[in-house]
Amino acid sequence: MQALNTANPIQRTRIWHPLAFAVQPILALYAANNTLISPHALIRPTLVLVLGTLLLWIVLRLILRSNEKSALLTSLLVFGFFFWGHFVDRIIPTAQASHTTLYFIGYCIVLLGLVAAICLLKSTRASTKFFHVAGGMLLLFALVSLAIGSAQSTKEIGIRHSTKRARAWDAVNIAQTNKRDVVVILLDAYPRSDVLRDDYHVDNAPFLDALSARGFNVSSNSLSNYDKTLWSVGSMLNGAYLDKFLPMGKTKSASLSALVDRFQHSRVFRLFSRHRYTLYAFETGFDNADMRDSVNYFIRPHTWGTEFESLLIQMTPIPQIYTKLSGNNFLYEKHRNRIHFVHDQVIDLAKRNSKSPRFIWTHMNLPHDPIIFDADGGPRQIRKLFMWGGLPPANLTWDEYAALYGEQLTYLHRLVLEMLDAFLSQPPEKRPIIVLFSDHGAGNLPNGAGCADHFKNLCAVYVPPSMEWTPPEPMILVDLFPSIINMMAEPGAPISLSSETRLYSVNWDHPYIADECE
């Protein structure tokens, strides 16, 4: 019997198309999201897929005793594995996980071509040539898309630092008697009460009353200045509209680098760090929204996978298989676990003593869509595909969707009040300043809702009894921290507040182009 040659198949036959089909999904997904995801997120999935593909290829070769046939079958299995998500979910574009129609059409064409090749090409060698062409074209398409996106996104955007307003921040000194802990809790996309009442038919008065009973100043006319997180929080943490330090309206660059820099290295964080505060932040799951490099302690849950790996897995049958076996989509489960982790850790921080004052930054991706909880905290899933944002599912009326949204708010209110009570149970002289706010209003609104409804947000502030705070009118986010820091500061020139209220709608494709909401 002739011995089986198990030498390295790639070197012996120079077949490479299985590796092209393995790497292409990673590059294509990154090309569609390169402004939102760091390049280092590609390293682990690339290694896993390349090694997994090689292992599958070797196993199939041992079974089929043919290098070319095993390579063809490997490529088909890898391609089919990653095509599954596109085929089942039909690619619903979202801001945080964009897949273009062009990609979908390209995948369909190549899939039909592969099926035709199997039917028409009887020669294994001819099929191998076809697969090399198909794999090479897919890989080339991904590389070209990535190169174009990278060229647009890596253009350097200038940041203006030496302004009169920046110098005013640098001159601020927090009074020793006012060095309290500062706790910030961001509830992503929580709408203002009038929007909940008029557009969602949800009454959150019991929650607002509970805040007022605990000593919070709850604003009835609060507004964010931008309708997306990076822009809204970036302006808030720097106490100024973005056009004060970024070239808003003066460039069509797709680069998020300057915007992310202002978000992650803000005047607020620098000020508290300069005054010897210990800074804490929690991982959000989004690289661009994390304060990893700006804090002393970056707290992250013990969960598998990065944001990019989660998106990649959604292209495969794994979510459907896991759902069938466990009854839960593991991406929804991961999101729920993160919310509960942050809740538990914030309560734990409230119970700890600290030698230095603390600045605790807490960003909870709730009630931002998707809906993941019912009113009692049980799991809820209204879409097969896990996605951030997006329109309500077609199988639900607006009223049905709004009712489910309201149930999730009921559970969120419980979590928030538990976190607040952990801090407010301390003696009055040790209680922190607490800022509870949302970065913008609701992303989903019914037909006929006004432009301004997207900016109507939650804003509630607790100030210890020994301190006195005068909230700005109206309460716009760019004025929130300047007003709080002025309260904490020693006598001197205060940080000036904005003299006008402006609301801007922005988009991910052109981050420095903003349309004003009239």
Alpha-carbon distance of 173 to 95, in angstroms, equals 40
Predicted pLDDT at 346: 97
Greater confidence, 338 or 449? 338
Say what the pLDDT of residue 94 is: 39
Give Cβ neighbours of residue 246 (< 8 Å, ≥ 6 apart).
157, 159, 160, 258, 259, 262, 512
Average pLDDT over residues 241-262: 82
What residue type is 281 in one-letter code? A
Where are the alpha helices (H) located in 121-222, listed in sequence order? 124-153, 164-171, 193-199, 205-213
pLDDT of residue 174: 93
At residue 156, does pLDDT exceed 70?
Answer: no
Structure-block tokens of residue 107: 């995948």
The more confidently predicted of residues 485 and 147 is 485
Closest CA to 224 of 254, 250, 259, 189: 189
Distance CA 315, CA 23 (A): 14
Q: Are 231 and 504 in contact (CB under 8 A)?
A: yes
Which of residues 443 and 204 earns the better pLDDT score?
204
6 versus 428: the higher-pLDDT residue is 428
Average pLDDT value over all residues in the chain: 84
Q: Could you give the CA distance from residue 436 to residue 406 in angstroms, rounded to a whole number?
A: 19
pLDDT of residue 35: 66
Residue type, 370: P
Range from 362-371, 440-449, 470-479 carrying the lowest mean pLDDT: 440-449
405 contacts 433 by C-beta, under 8 angstroms: no
**Average of pLDDT values for 7-12?**
48
**With 70 as the cut, is the pLDDT of residue 261 above it?**
yes
What pLDDT is attached to residue 499? 81
Torsions phi, psi of 379, nearest 5? Answer: -70, 140
Question: Which of the given ranges, 72-86, 100-114, 223-237, 391-405, has the highest pLDDT on average?
Answer: 223-237
State pLDDT tens for residues 329-386: 778 888 999 999 999 999 999 999 889 999 999 999 999 999 999 999 999 988 777 7
pLDDT at 408: 97
Could you tell me the pLDDT band of residue 151, with boundaries at 50, 70 and 90? low
407-427 pLDDT per residue, tens = 999 999 999 999 999 999 999
pLDDT in tens, 194-206: 999 999 999 999 9
Report residue 87's pLDDT band, with 50, 70 and 90 as the boundaries: low
From 126, 183, 170, select the one nearest 350 (Cα to Cα). 183
The answer to which of 41-50, 370-379, 389-398 has the lowest mean pLDDT is: 389-398
Top pLDDT among 326 and 491 is at 491
In whole angstroms, give the CA distance from residue 339 to residue 301. Answer: 10
CA 307/CA 298 separation, integer angstroms: 17
Cα(90)–Cα(14) distance, integer angstroms: 35
pLDDT value at residue 96: 36
Mean pLDDT along residues 451-456: 92
User: Which of 395-404's residues contact partners 24+ apart within 8 Å by CB, and which partners?
Assistant: 398/446, 399/201, 401/444, 402/199, 402/200, 402/201, 402/202, 402/446, 403/201, 404/371, 404/374, 404/380
Q: Please state, in angstroms and rounded to a whole number, the distance separating the CA atoms of residues 68 and 466.
A: 78
Let me know the angle formed at the C-alpha of 45 by 42 and 47, rounded to the nearest 5 degrees.
100
Residue of 275 and 72 predicted with greater confidence: 275
| Strand, coil or helix: 360 | strand
Antiparallel, parallel or unpaired: β 433-437 and 459-462: antiparallel
Position 56 pLDDT exceeds 80: yes
120-144 pLDDT, tens digit per residue, is 545 677 778 888 888 888 888 888 8
Does 479 score more than 80 pLDDT?
yes
Cα dihedral 372, 373, 374, 377 in deg (nearest 10): 160
C-alpha neighbours within 13 Å on the C-beta side of residue 378: 5
What is the pLDDT at residue 13? 53
187: number of Cβ within 10 Å: 23
pLDDT over 70 percentage in the chain: 85
Integer Cα distance of 162 and 230 in angstroms: 22
* Terminal alpha carbon distance of the chain: 83
Put simply, whether the predicted model's pTM sits higher than 0.85 gets the answer no
pLDDT value for 10: 44
- Tokens 């062409």 correspond to 133
